[in-house]
Amino acid sequence: MTLIVQKYGGSSVADANRIVNVARRIGKAKSEGADVVAVVSAMGDTTDELIRLAQTVTQQPDPRELDLLLSTGELVSSPLLTMALRTLGLDAISLSGLQAGIHTDTMYGQARIHRIDTGRVKTELQKGRVVVVAGFQGVTEDQDVTTLGRGGSDTTAVALAAALKADRCEIYTDVDGIYTADPRVVPEALKLDEISYDEMLELASYGAKMHPRSIEVGAVFGVPIYVASSFGDAGGTLIHQGKD
């Protein structure tokens, strides 16, 4: 059975209609015979709003408390997507980072994943369910909630794909792939059909919007990463070892 990890970014789940759109896309992958783990970011600008909210209370939020606060964004989008999936008649369950077995170090705001205990996710997949995982978060050995750094849901998705030995990881966003330059700034920028991990890391360091750690994890574990738009069906970009 093909296992796909799909990640949907904040703009793809920004409102109820978009969440239903994402549920339909997951339903399509299921109907084509794949098992699906979906990783979601917080809705729209939720994370920015939560940071602003914390700053209205204190100039210097305590890092542990800030991470627990920020983790709530993904705890809203994941059950909502699960409800939308169930409404479409698909069996689905949402899991927090803790429930999904994502263990990290204690670097609040920038935590690194140490290991993933995949037991619960696998059990749910075996029941035929779509497993919706809250991105961007994990827990320390003391079960304190951590976040992985801004944009960290990409890394949740690729790390889960590696741990589950998924066939591929698909990152859905509001652009239709990786370009040679920012197409809003450089009109003649070209969309790439494929790119190596090394080249992608370089682009990410120049501001291509992917969490760099997700590409490192993909390279180390050999996870093919497909980046495409959640709003249409235009072909995206495959990040893989490939040839240079």
Q: Single out the segment in contact with ligand ASP by CB under 6 A; choices: 85-93, 110-118, 147-155, 228-236.
A: 147-155
* Count of positions on this chain that bind ligand ASP (CB under 6 A): 12
What are the phi and psi torsion angles at 38 (to 5°)?
-110, 130
Q: Does 138 bind ligand ASP (CB under 6 A)?
A: no
196-215 positions binding ligand ASP, by CB under 6 A? none
Any idea how long the chain is? 244
- Report whether 47 contacts 10 (CB < 8 A): yes
Give the span between the Cα atoms of 208 and 200, in whole angstroms: 8
Q: Does 97 bind ligand ASP (CB under 6 A)?
A: no
Picked from Mg ion, ligand ASP, none, the partner binding residue 97 (CB below 5 to 8 A depending on kind) is none
- Report whether 39 contacts 153 (CB < 8 A): yes
Picked from Mg ion, ligand ASP, none, the partner binding residue 153 (CB below 5 to 8 A depending on kind) is ligand ASP
Question: Which of residues 47 and 82 has its CB atom nearest to Mg ion in the complex?
Answer: 47
- Binder to ligand ASP among 86, 150, 168, 209 (CB under 6 A)? 150
Q: Single out the segment in contact with ligand ASP by CB under 6 A; choices: 29-37, 39-47, 163-171, 198-206.
A: 39-47
Written in H, E and C, the secondary structure of 105-138 is CCCCCCCCEEEECCHHHHHHHHCCCEEEEECCEE
Give the span between the Cα atoms of 6 and 38, in whole angstroms: 5
Q: Which residues bind ligand ASP (CB under 6 A)?
A: 9-10, 41-42, 47, 73, 135-136, 150-153
